[in-house]
Structure 1
């Protein structure tokens, strides 16, 4: 590295921590970290600082947690940091134009997709859910649009039939950390030119809700299986059993078999879908420990040929 850059880091969840660590390790001057305000979390709903907030404090970096950056006071405080650049990774707040304009080199984003595919809030989960063959990291020069800025660098990783949201999240977090340091240095040295995003191939990764986790047996089995891999642990997948219990589905795999959508096909919790079948390999009843499908059925009044959920209607 030539001259250390004066940086502001803006991020909130675990995904952003490796990038912050990489910037510290590279010898850059982290003058401030911005993160979402502490919020209640966990079973006890204790107010907790974000992963980035905690990591920054552990490394002696001042932390700011504004609820918004739209007011003049917050924008003036940001400009007063006189940063060479701001690095943004899953921060969670909109950056208005005065924030984008304040650093000498602008604001650079570590985004978890191959832009322009999967702009928006949930690119990792949406890429698995859609059955994409690959995704990756794009280092992007931010503008006022939603992930529309010019690209500084891009690197792909494969999505396999075994890829889960948790595993892909961790892989992309590490990849982003590896990419951000050379991208910043190339930007500062003038050796890296930002390329506009293609106009074709734009998709949007809408924010996830709990309802996205509802399993619909009238979908193809391949989709239901991807849904479990994509949406575990958040928002989680589930179905409502005929007795009213909401059953969490923590793992599933493709299976052979056919029947009316939602029908139980065997004693291993294989369920018929619109096209094919899926075996629910780890499930959880309310207030109980997770168990495999066979163990679940031993303690649950459900016979082969019956619908597994209240929405399903067997022939």
Structure 2
């Protein structure tokens, strides 16, 4: 079975390597073009390309997958199957119709929940306790195709979206191999999605990370976890953005006081009030500064209990 693999980020690298190690006939890899990365804007290949080069697999990097010249190249490869894992572009009908068997996508949610670009982040932001991965037949809709297989996983309370990405990458790689085994044996599964139960996970924007301290501590805690490492939850002080990297729920026994600075917890961090209980902030980064422990941050900033966060420096 001749397979073309389409994927781009680290999340897709593990499934690709699994396929190669299981002797799946990966005849080509399609990924996004090399992009500038980091403050120095160094041109860097996608993680999937690095895996493909490691195993001497031909790599194609079209700027637009719907480009007619690329479609001709893909058609000339005569794949039996195309597997897609976080590729980053929507496949047009002409591409979907190329492989003899079809196109299988690995999606990081239990469809039809969380269709779209950011299912991992939104699952945490929304406080889900369980998520998973789905292999599905691709069609022209946004994650609307028939389901092949699904596997669930519990979301730990201390996981960020980065942690969950790593777990789902492994789980997705395993599920993709199982799906390919089913296909090779002729056991084709097509379970239509219940579209009325669909929810959506749109791409994150920077603004989603702004903390509303009047919300519950749990909602803010989930926002911090779900937006890490990008765009990150943030608040402001004296016009400067402060990104909050890590926090945990803390019941001080006091009445709710949204945004109020509640004082220092020795060797741990500082407390900020919310619409319910307090949050213990443990790691952060001020604009222009470096990531640091909250206790280190307080050493150079003089807050007093009763000040309100985001207004502290203007009082």
TM norm. shorter chain > 0.5: yes
- Extract unaligned runs of 5+ from structure 2: none
Give 3-state SS (helix, strand or coil) of 1:200's partner: helix
User: Structure 1 residues 50 and 259, CA, compared in 2 at 3 Å: closer, same or farther?
Assistant: same
Matched residue, 1:221: 217
- Extract unaligned runs of 5+ from structure 1: none
Matched residue, 2:248: 253
Contact 1:259 1:265 in 2 (8 A): no
Matches within 5 A, 1:1-315: 5-241=1-237, 243-256=238-251, 257-268=254-265, 269-310=270-311
How many residues were matched structurally?
Answer: 309
Task: Output one character per residue of 1:36-68: Cα deviation in whole Å (capped at 9) or x when no partner.
Answer: 111110121111110001111111011111111
Give 3-state SS (helix, strand or coil) of 2:261's partner: coil
**Aligned equivalents of 2:239, 2:313: Cα separation in 1:** 13
Contact 2:249 2:279 in 1 (8 A): yes
Task: Output one character per residue of 1:196-231: Cα deviation in whole Å (capped at 9) or x when no partner.
Answer: 112332100010111111111121110000111111
Contact 1:258 1:273 in 2 (8 A): no
1:103: how far off?
A: 0.4
Q: Larger deviation: 298-307 or 251-260? A: 251-260
**Aligned equivalents of 2:169, 2:18: Cα separation in 1:** 11
Give 3-state SS (helix, strand or coil) of 2:214's partner: coil
Contact 1:261 1:313 in 2 (8 A): no
Contact 2:256 2:276 in 1 (8 A): no
Q: Cα RMSD between the aligned structures?
A: 1.8
Give 3-state SS (helix, strand or coil) of 1:107's partner: strand
TM-score by length of 1: 0.94
TM-score by length of 2: 0.94
Contact 2:284 2:292 in 1 (8 A): yes
